[in-house]
Amino acid sequence: MTSSATGWSSSRRDTSRSLRVTEGQHPTAGLSTQGARWRPVIPDEALRWFAQVSVPWWIAGGWAIDLYLGRTTRDHGDLDVGVLRRDVPVLLRGLESWEVYEADDGRLARLSPGALPGAAVNSLWCRRAHESDFILELLLDDSEREYWVYRRDARVRRKLTQLFSGHPSGLRYLAPEVQLLYKSRNARAKDHEDFRAAVAQLDASARAWLRRHLPDTRADWIAQLA
């Protein structure tokens, strides 16, 4: 089956984290992130989940790179959605019937309805009530007034109006240079794959911004941006 908005196939092979919830684990008990199972979904699903949400949100992760490129470059095991930390209470109203977990330091802690994630929590794992598979990760971004602030280095910031771009489907996606900056730390094989897919398409401004902010440990990427 193909999504009418973006054309992404919803019958993609399950290449999720291939991990299982521990047998007999109560769904509200503390879980290890290594004991969680993910089911892939396509970005269009987020349009339905957050149709009534009034704050900005955007597709992040590997799907953001594919939306930027306009094609599917690899399998995706999950769906990442970004939101400003200050807007999380509004976004969570769209998930009132879901189970939401704080993911921090390798552990999952159930977030009570109406509660807010801790200040040190940057990731929320979400699944429908009474289901074992997670399908959505919310990534919380810091901000200050009209600026996005990179949580790993508060000196790196940009105007919120330049943080994401629009897709013909109605989705927004995180700017590729910002997404690749996030991926540059402890880059996995799929992060290198995303960089290789996107680097040739980045315009001069995006290349210069990314090159300026990449850590010195990512010299391999910096060289390709020269």
155-168 confidence digits (pLDDT tens): 999 999 999 999 99
Domain boundaries, the chain: 1-146
Q: What is residue 203's three-state secondary structure?
A: coil
**Which of the four pLDDT bands, split at 50, 70 and 90, describes residue 2?**
very low
**Which of the four pLDDT bands, split at 50, 70 and 90, describes residue 198?**
very high
Q: What is the CATH code of the structural domain delimited by 1-146? A: 3.30.460
Query: What is the residue type of 28?
Result: T
Q: How many CB atoms lie within 10 A of CB 12?
A: 14
Whole-prediction pTM value?
Answer: 0.87
- So what's the pLDDT on residue 59? 98
pLDDT at residue 224 above 80? yes
Over its C-alpha atoms, the chain yields an Rg (Å, rounded) of: 17
Name residue 174's beta-bridge partners: 164
